[in-house]
A = this chain, B = another copy of it.
Amino acid sequence: MAKLQQLADLVGGEVSGDAEIEIGQVAPIDKAQAGDITFVANPKYLPQLKSCQASAVILSPGIDVSGQNLLICANPYLAFAKILTFLQVSPRPVKGIMPGALVSESAVVDPAATIYPGCVIGERVTIGSGTTLYPGVAVYADVTIGEDCVVHANVVIREGCHLHDRVILQPAAVIGSDGFGFAPDGAKYYKIPQVGVVVLEDDVEIGANTSIDRAALGVTLIRRGTKIDNLVQIGHNVEVGEDCILVSQSGIAGSSKVGNHCTFGGQAAIAGHLTIGDNVMIGGRGGATGNVAPNQILSGLPLMPHKKWLRATMTLPKLPEMRKDMQQMQKRLDELEALLKEK
């Protein structure tokens, strides 16, 4: 519970209307009741405000809305996130090593960490202050986990991998599985040992059932602030830059390097041994088969500028018709040529 002025101070915004009104929680515009605050990040929802019961609305400056208490700020979506965090997220209680957690004697767990039952912590592991491991997390030997990390249930972190601070792993994510490397030996394949590790830098988040393979030699590296969704595949020796967004079911094959601030849509794919520049956006199901220069918005397989791809795919359903038209045109050409020969 907070007064509207208090929330405005939190997000660096200004109040228009009753600054003293009490706000209990955040609610979407179509469900908000008295005591709630809602937000409009997309102007197309503005008409819904008329019938909205919320006690206050988070809005961008310069929009004329009468009869509502407003919290006006430059980035309403960010303000919404911060207010939601403030009002509705409780700090995780520190519970220490709970009964039923199996911690190796040589592991060092900070007293302000929480290890739930069913976790198994290997030899020489270190776990920092404020970090929580939910039930069933398996941490192999020589792993280091920093401060204020959240590792959800049934995550696996294999030997020697490193998590820096404030890393979040959703349930059943796998960090440090063997890379997919085999040397052909006649018809059979010989397994190439994968003796490298994975490093997840500060503020990285990894989705549920996502796999990040350890390097064959060296490091698979996810840099600071990058967010990876569910069911994503990161191959061995990949490097992903800072503040990237990798949407669900996308994949990056072995040894590719991705720049900073890239965004890959759902089911997108990057082939192996490529370099993707900074600020590259690849649309859903786009596929990179060659290096990509920075600062582009691309889609398709092969990749092309997104707008070109939109036009190209619009043409796809017309292909059979185009083929028929061409056959007709060829007939007409044949006839014209015959006619001209006669003359």
Q: Which residues of A, 72-94, contact B by the 8 Å Cβ criterion?
A: 75, 77-78, 80-82, 84-85, 88-89
Q: Which B residue sits closest to A248, measured CB to CB?
A: B233
* Other-chain contact of A326, B28, B78, B249, B329 (Cβ < 8 Å): B329
**Contact-residue bracket for chain A:** 35 or more
Q: Which of A1-9, A15-23, A112-120 contacts B (4 or more CB under 8 A)?
A: A112-120
A277 on interface, CB distance cutoff 8 Å: no
A336 on interface, CB distance cutoff 8 Å: yes
Q: Are B158 and A136 in contact (CB under 8 A)?
A: no
CA gap between A263 and B156 in the complex, in Å: 28
CA gap between A330 and B330 in the complex, in Å: 10
Q: Are A140 and B134 in contact (CB under 8 A)?
A: yes
17 contacts between A and B (CB under 8 A): A31-B217, A81-B190, A102-B135, A138-B153, A156-B171, A158-B171, A172-B172, A189-B245, A208-B211, A209-B209, A211-B231, A302-B316, A311-B320, A315-B320, A315-B322, A325-B330, A332-B337
**Given A229-B233, A309-B317, A332-B333, 7 more pairs with CB closer than 8 A:** A136-B154, A140-B153, A152-B156, A180-B230, A187-B242, A189-B245, A325-B326
